Chains A and B, each alone.
Chain A
Amino acid sequence: MKARVKILCQNWKRPGKPRYRTYEVPFSAGDKVLGGLLYIYKQLDPCLSFRFNCRGRHCGECAMMINGKPGLACAIPMSRDLILEPLKNLPVVKDLVIDRGHVYRSIVERIPSLTQGKDRAEEVVSESRGCKRLRTVSAEVLERVIRLDDCIHCLCCMAVCPAYKKAPEIFLGPMGLLALAASSGQIQHTDLSEKAALCIECGRCEEVCPRGIPAHSEAIRMLKQNR
């Protein structure tokens, strides 16, 4: 089978005006978009820039817009007509590469720290020593954290969030709110509902999450109720 792959690339003659380049890529059933990208890089265009690393849905590096929807290139199957673009709403470095580290840092720096300092460290260990048990947490908190604190920071959710698009400097976006909600119950936050206020509850973040984290239906709803 052959695929027509259109990729939004940098235009070096007119900076700031990226353009689509089209490649013809052979593929067979079961092949992933990442396979197509590697074919293009090796056979057709060594200048095409895209991230990937683990090839197994763990590292989150190969997230991009695939036919208008964010997803991991290592997970989404090839198809006859493909349009690939960098993740929306995020600063582009080149072609399909976005400034992942900067986005993560700028958001997480604004979240109250969960790190509990030296004293807490000793308490955690001494509590567990001897009885060899972890401190007891309520089943509700445990199950919530297990569901929510499972993020690989691929930023797919940020690429579909209309509120983040509008106010990236103020709004934490789904990824930030998720981190906040995952920590809620472990330490006290004061202004949870305020942080989530800009969310318009479209639920798209949850639809595109490659790890199936209930970012909207659980995390953000919980924050809005200031729990």
Chain B
Amino acid sequence: MKVDVGQYGTDILIVGGGGAAAMAALEASRLGAQPLIACKDTFLGGATVQASGGTSVPFLPEDSATAFFDDTMKSGAFINNRKLVKVLTEEAHDVFYGLEQYGILLDRGSTGEMRSFKRSEGHSFLRSYADRRQFHGVLAGLKRSVVQRRIGLLEERMLLKLFTEEGTVRGALFFSLPDGAFECVNAPVVILVTGGCGQLYATTTNAQCLTGDGYALAFDAGAELVDMEMVQFLPLAFPYPSTVRGQLIGMCSLFGPNVKLYNGQGERYMLRHDPEKQEYATRDKVARANYTEIQEGRGTKRKTIIVDPTQNDRSLVGEYRSALAVAYDLIAEIFGEKAARWEAPFEAIPSQHFMMGGVRIDEDCRTAVPNLFCCGEVSGGVHGANRLAGNALTEILVFGGRAGRNAADAARITPRAAIPAELVRSSVKEMQVCLNSLDGVPPGVTRQRLQNMMWDKVGIVRSGEDLEKALKSLQRLEHLADGVAPQCRIRQWNREFLEALELKLMVRTAALIATSALQRRESRGSHFRRDYPETSEDWCRNVILSKTPDGAIAARVSEPTGGTG
């Protein structure tokens, strides 16, 4: 295959296509910069389009940024970056209300009061914005604004490499799905907003494109990663049919104030797992309980648990249903209308949902690599060991805008410099190897193996032994990833090419998670080790990963930024 690489140039390259990308682009463009968005799916996508809309905003008069800060730290088990949490909680209100400048009409009550969900775990006040359109109303407005400002868009482009020269970012290499070509974008400033890594797991709420490419590539470019072991699992997801498996149902509080969970033997097992808070324990606890029941053979025949909303006061169902219409409608379709009316129980399984760990950033969204900015799910530190419900959307709005503004400032003083042609050529050649291989299994088969292994060994319940095994099998998988062979050789819109390229990065991101999880010899937040089931004071710290000069993973333990309070 001839190496013919298309070239683009821009002030600010934004890699990713979710809400953080949109906010970064709009803010950078407002300051006069010319950003270019390159994303793997079609814009506006990512996990943001799947969001229920619940955004944490301290809107009640009796609420405050301080109370919001305290709740966020507590949920994060105090290993959050305090400086980031301070920014998040102080700016949440103004940034959220400021969304209306983009021609968005937020949902509200008749006198302009905020509409909110009736309850959400871990918040001391009602703080979760509820929109009757989920988040689609907000996103439609952001998408329109980006297009109407003529911000450049390269869609269905997968990030393959971040180019650095003398330690500074210079641009990036992409694979273009529509035409099967490689493209190079020269940019003196890059914002990485590639989102999470749910596709590393066999069961996830995350969309197909969320394979965690950004973690491996930022690490490769010299950025540090923080607390990569902190992967969030939610208690309730759909078990079937196959295409819906793993899709978000949510948590118990969305099914009334008196919902009960039962295992296959009819036991209300939450009484055993958390006698005090029972079904309304934090999401990580309920997810772990559900996983344990199924794993230890106490699930139903279909390896599920039973959610029973029938003991609720049924006059409340309308209100709950309208706040979560999509999930309730799916429940009606899959389990019958009675289940959606709280007149019958339904089945569920736990599912991977969110990544708290990620690229280490400061409050200006700077990484360890000069001019490489990062925010959103691919960044780490805001949520500590466990994310509060609603804080992910607040994060992308607050830090997306900040990344855009700081990147615009950086772009103003950084001259453009072309990436050396030889570097581009050698990178492309390296990538082409896995596309041209004629002998091997299809990439999708190895992807499935990786997903199953991660779910079993680096999932909801972990142990030192399992993590060692995981790292060993990741070495094998890395080898297998190099040897996959796409069966289809057509260049245009070839999903196998994409999967082959993704697989190489997925294996590397998986190794970062497993390495970090092996380091943390305690249980905290979402990270549970059955060989170290207790939370340890000594571990109120961050696990930081960085790349050694010979490309290996170096781990160190560090005090959380801003202290532990």
- Enumerate chain A interface residues (CB-CB to B < 8 A): 12, 28, 30-32, 34-35, 38, 41-42, 46-47, 49, 51-59, 61, 74, 93-95, 97, 100-101, 104-105, 108-109, 111, 113-118, 120-121, 124-125, 128-129, 132-137, 139, 141-142, 145-146, 149-153, 179, 182-183, 186-187, 211
Which B residues touch A109, using CB under 8 A?
147-148, 150
B101-115 interface code vs A (CB 8 A; 1 in, 0 out): 111111110111110
The answer to whether B496 touches A114, judged by C-beta atoms less than 8 angstroms apart, is: no
The answer to whether A124 touches B241, judged by C-beta atoms less than 8 angstroms apart, is: no
Contact of A153 among B143, B240, B244, B247 (CB under 8 A): B143
In the complex with contacts A31-B242, A132-B60, A150-B136, A53-B112 CB distance below 8 A: no
**A-B pairs with lowest CB-CB distance, top 4:** A114-B103, A121-B101, A47-B488, A128-B97
Which B residues touch A128, using CB under 8 A?
93-94, 97
14 A-B pairs whose Cβ atoms sit less than 8 Å apart in the complex: A51-B42, A54-B50, A54-B207, A56-B247, A61-B45, A74-B244, A94-B492, A94-B493, A111-B144, A129-B93, A133-B111, A137-B108, A149-B104, A149-B141
In the complex with contacts A114-B141, A133-B113, A179-B140, A53-B242 CB distance below 8 A: no
The answer to whether A142 touches B243, judged by C-beta atoms less than 8 angstroms apart, is: no
Which A residues touch B50, using CB under 8 A?
54, 56, 58-59
Query: Most A CB atoms within 10 A — which of B42, B100, B150, B243?
Result: B243
The interface residues of chain B, by DSSP majority, are classed as loop
> Beyond the given A52-B208, A151-B136, could you list 7 further A-B residue pairs with CB under 8 A, ordered by the A residue number?
A54-B50, A58-B50, A59-B45, A108-B144, A113-B103, A124-B98, A135-B112
Q: How many residues of B contact A (CB 8 A)?
A: 69
CA distance A116 to B144 in the complex (A): 12
Chain B residue at minimal CB-CB distance from A78: B241
Does B137 make an interface contact (CB < 8 A)?
Answer: yes
Does B132 make an interface contact (CB < 8 A)?
Answer: yes
Which A residues touch B492, using CB under 8 A?
49, 93-94
Query: Most B CB atoms within 10 A — which of A94, A115, A137?
Result: A115
The answer to whether A111 touches B207, judged by C-beta atoms less than 8 angstroms apart, is: no
In the complex with contacts A31-B241, A54-B50, A149-B42 CB distance below 8 A: no
CA distance A108 to B490 in the complex (A): 33
Chain A residue at minimal CB-CB distance from B135: A58
The answer to whether A114 touches B178, judged by C-beta atoms less than 8 angstroms apart, is: no
In the complex with contacts A53-B41, A56-B247, A108-B148, A35-B136 CB distance below 8 A: no
Does B126 make an interface contact (CB < 8 A)?
Answer: no
CA distance A12 to B93 in the complex (A): 54
The answer to whether A149 touches B45, judged by C-beta atoms less than 8 angstroms apart, is: no
A182 to chain B, nearest CB (A): 8
The answer to whether A183 touches B103, judged by C-beta atoms less than 8 angstroms apart, is: yes
The answer to whether A101 touches B42, judged by C-beta atoms less than 8 angstroms apart, is: yes
The answer to whether A58 touches B326, judged by C-beta atoms less than 8 angstroms apart, is: yes
The answer to whether A61 touches B243, judged by C-beta atoms less than 8 angstroms apart, is: no
CA distance A28 to B45 in the complex (A): 30
The answer to whether A121 touches B141, judged by C-beta atoms less than 8 angstroms apart, is: no
A18 to chain B, nearest CB (A): 13
Does B553 make an interface contact (CB < 8 A)?
Answer: no
In the complex with contacts A55-B243, A56-B244, A149-B137 CB distance below 8 A: yes
Which B residues touch A74, using CB under 8 A?
243-244
The answer to whether B487 touches A149, judged by C-beta atoms less than 8 angstroms apart, is: no
The answer to whether B111 touches A149, judged by C-beta atoms less than 8 angstroms apart, is: no
The answer to whether A129 touches B493, judged by C-beta atoms less than 8 angstroms apart, is: no
The answer to whether A46 touches B496, judged by C-beta atoms less than 8 angstroms apart, is: yes
Chain B residue at minimal CB-CB distance from A118: B30
CA distance A179 to B103 in the complex (A): 11
Which B residues touch A35, using CB under 8 A?
241-243
The answer to whether A54 touches B148, judged by C-beta atoms less than 8 angstroms apart, is: no
Chain B residue at minimal CB-CB distance from A29: B241
Of residues 122 to 145 in B, which have CB atoms within 8 Å of A's CB atoms?
132-134, 136-137, 140-141, 143-145
